[in-house]
């Protein structure tokens, strides 16, 4: 297990309310939070874009200038950092993410690699929100991949279940992409559970010579999965988008705390943490 672990910090997420949780919203806040994560060992920053008007920081935006301003602020604070943009849209239209990619020039963009019924229930037997379809058809994925190729941006395939993992291999087989970089999303209620034993099975279905990491969503139980990822040779990701809880169950107050804990997971597994320049060699 000689390969160093590349750490990604997912800084803020899509809807988390900054009045309730310590998530950054403005470019200045994003840069400060990214710097804490960078100093703790993160080489990649996965970012979502929020509306900047007062009282609207919990709402997403696809304004290209917001994406550009955030990226430039983070790059200035974190020399050599790799930018990773969200691209997720519920429906077919992804013109917003495409405009942001063309303006902000990230090195990596998340590519949601299959459709998912996005569901969650409450203990009283009702839906936590109206059931929705997270629509990612092959046509939509292909459109995004073509833009990413034009922009020299590496796709990171977001996989919510095993069928999506296998579909990503088919994208390569038909020439939609060349090398593969999987992000195994675990902990979404209607997707793969955050289960370290499942992870051991899943990795058998990844194409040879591919990179992979896991996004693990939940509370302190996620840290057993991070441990298994590190032991199996995957790259690591955490941040306030994915969890508010540290390994001991305490609530995290910053992205820096989460990345510090994740770097320790890597070291405990005998893995060194990749620097930004090393991450570029491995990833790009």
List 147's β-bridge partners, or say none: none
List 108's β-bridge partners, or say none: 84, 154
**pLDDT tens by residue, the chain, 284 residues:** 458 999 999 999 988 888 889 999 999 999 999 999 999 999 999 999 999 998 898 999 999 999 999 999 999 999 999 999 999 999 999 999 999 999 999 999 999 999 999 999 999 999 999 999 999 999 999 999 999 999 999 999 999 999 999 999 999 999 999 989 999 999 999 999 999 999 999 999 999 999 999 999 999 999 999 999 999 999 999 999 999 999 999 999 999 999 999 999 999 999 999 999 999 998 87
Nearest to 15 by CA among 51, 43, 68, 42: 51
Domain residue limits, the chain: 7-283
Q: How many helices, marked H, and strands, marked E, lie in the chain?
A: 9, 10
Reading the block at residue 212, the tokens are 């992979």
Reading the block at residue 115, the tokens are 């459709």
Q: What's the whole-model pTM score? A: 0.96
CATH of domain 7-283: 3.20.20.70
């Amino acid at each position: 297990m000689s390969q160093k672990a590349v750490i990604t910090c997912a800084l803020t997420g899509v809807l988390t309310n900054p009045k309730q949780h310590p998530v950054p919203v403005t470019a200045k806040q994003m840069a400060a939070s990214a710097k804490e994560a960078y100093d703790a060992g993160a080489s990649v920053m996965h970012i979502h874009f929020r509306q900047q008007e007062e009282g609207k920081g919990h709402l997403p935006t696809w304004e290209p200038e917001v994406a550009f301003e955030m990226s430039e602020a983070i790059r200035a604070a974190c020399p050599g950092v790799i930018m990773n943009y969200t691209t997720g849209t519920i429906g077919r239209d992804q013109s917003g993410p495409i405009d942001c990619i063309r303006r902000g020039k990230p090195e990596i963009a998340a590519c949601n690699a299959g459709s998912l019924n996005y569901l969650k229930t409450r203990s009283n037997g009702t839906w936590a929100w109206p059931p929705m379809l997270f629509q990612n058809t092959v046509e939509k994925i292909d459109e995004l991949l073509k833009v990413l190729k034009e922009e020299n941006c590496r796709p990171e395939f977001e996989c919510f279940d095993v069928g999506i993992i296998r579909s990503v291999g088919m994208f390569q087989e038909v020439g939609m992409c060349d090398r593969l970089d999987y992000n195994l999303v675990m902990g979404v209620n209607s997707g793969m559970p955050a289960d370290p034993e499942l992870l051991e099975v899943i990795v058998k279905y990844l194409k040879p010579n591919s990179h992979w990491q896991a996004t693990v969503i939940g509370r302190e139980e996620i840290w057993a999965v991070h441990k298994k990822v590190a032991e199996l040779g995957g790259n690591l990701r955490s941040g306030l988008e994915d969890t508010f809880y540290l390994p001991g169950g305490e609530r995290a107050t910053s992205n820096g705390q989460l990345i510090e804990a994740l770097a320790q997971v890597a070291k405990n597994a005998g893995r060194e943490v990749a620097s930004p320049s090393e991450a570029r060699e491995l990833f790009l």
